[in-house]
Amino acid sequence: MPSTVHIDANRTWGGGQEQSLGLALALAERGHPTAFFAQSGSALAARLSSTRLPWEALPMRGAHQPRAALLLARRLRRLRPDIVHCHDSAGQAPAAFAARRAGRLPLIVTRRTASPPGRGPLHQHFYKSLCARIICVSQAVRQQCLAAGIPPTRLVVIPDFVDCAHFDPDALPGRPDPAHPLVVTVGRLSREKGHDVLLRSVPMVAAVVPQARFRICGTGPEEGRLRQLTDALNIADRVDFAGFVPDIRVAVAPAAVFAMPSRSEGLGVAVLEAMAMGKPVVASDVGGLRESVWHGETGLRVAPEDPQALAEGLVALLCDPARASRMGAAGRARAVERYDRARIVDRILALYDEVLAGGPGCPV
């Protein structure tokens, strides 16, 4: 029963933080000694305060925080975990230094971003010498790592998970309204999520389905620009900026279709949650979305950066509720079969055991 320490230095809350906290809680539920280190003043630290997990807030803002690395090393020497698991890029440098200084503890890193890892000497040393394994949440992320020169023996593909029991559509109060079909998207309001592409598709959808409405859930740096674009397109009466939604199920339950117009995506946790809720998905044909969304079965994949293609995909499902329902049911089945939390936690535990047994590629 390996003991673990989890590190996530991201200040904002998103899919990655849902995963890191969810994994730590799942391990603790199974009886594994588990502790957490988060960024001081972060949204994750606030969430940790409401759990029973042992945790501590540290100032971990990347490679230029030697004090954080030294503090973390002291904590790790005290805790002596079997595994150190880092969940975001800002915490990697402090985690690597601290794990080595605390007695060469095995370090596992999860990569969720579709952007390529750095190719510089320090990055290469980190990934080739300091990490026991890099968990890639999709084959797309793995290919980026291989292209950056990371040895395949260091890489393992384990997708993010979704708690299918929590997102059970039969347990949710809201239902789609056929008279006013709703398109919902969930994600941080940042450029890579492609919300502007969705907004530009709205007039084209409205021309065919005039009763359609749109809900955008999330906050982020692009919010002001997106609201300005909404006004410029004269679609403010059709678009609801819902902001941060504590319970995504409440926002997504009334949706007829879930949209994910990302420019890049490692996998897309929000898509997995929508699938678990039985929602058909229209998503960009990029990155890990090619793996999570089966085109023509659980949803439709469309060209990125193309409002017309997105509009055509949305209209196709809004105008064919029976087809949309079949895709939603297939998405729920795929989420349960491939991405359910218990299944993914089992795979991560198996990886921990392999690393502790000195499997191929583990640093000496």
Per residue in 175-217, pLDDT (tens digit) is 888 899 999 999 999 999 999 999 999 999 999 999 999 999 9
Distance in angstroms (rounded) separating the CA atoms of residues 254 and 182: 7
Instruction: State residue 364's pLDDT score.
Output: 38
Q: What is the pLDDT of residue 15?
A: 87
- Type and span of the H or E element at 25: helix 15-29
pLDDT of residue 361: 47
Domain extents in the chain: 4-161+341-356, 169-338
Is residue 306 scored above 50 in pLDDT?
Answer: yes
Give φ, ψ of 240 to 5 degrees.
-110, 115
Compute the mean pLDDT over every residue in the chain, rounded to the nearest whole number: 92
Identical fold for domains 4-161+341-356 and 169-338, yes or no, is: yes
Q: Tell the CATH topology of 169-338.
A: Rossmann fold (3.40.50)
Cα angle: 96, vertex 363, 19; to 5 degrees: 50
pTM over 0.85: yes
Band (pLDDT 50/70/90 cuts) for residue 130 is: confident
pLDDT value at 360 more than 60: no
CA distance 267 to 121: 28
- Label residue 250 exposed, middle or buried (CB < 10 Å: 0-12, 13-18, 19+): middle
Which residues lie below 8 Å from residue 255, measured CB to CB, with a gap of 6+?
176, 182, 183, 184, 215, 274, 279
Rounded distance between C-alpha atoms, residue 364 and residue 349, angstroms: 21
Q: What's the Cα-to-Cα distance from 156 to each of 5, 11, 88, 350, rounded to whole Å?
A: 20, 26, 16, 12
The token duo for 81 is 């975990």
**218 falls in which pLDDT band (50, 70, 90)?**
very high
What pLDDT, on the 0 to 100 scale, is given for residue 328? 98
**Domain 4-161+341-356 falls in which CATH fold?**
Rossmann fold (3.40.50)
pLDDT in tens, 150-168: 899 999 999 999 999 999 9
Residue 359, pLDDT > 70, answer: no
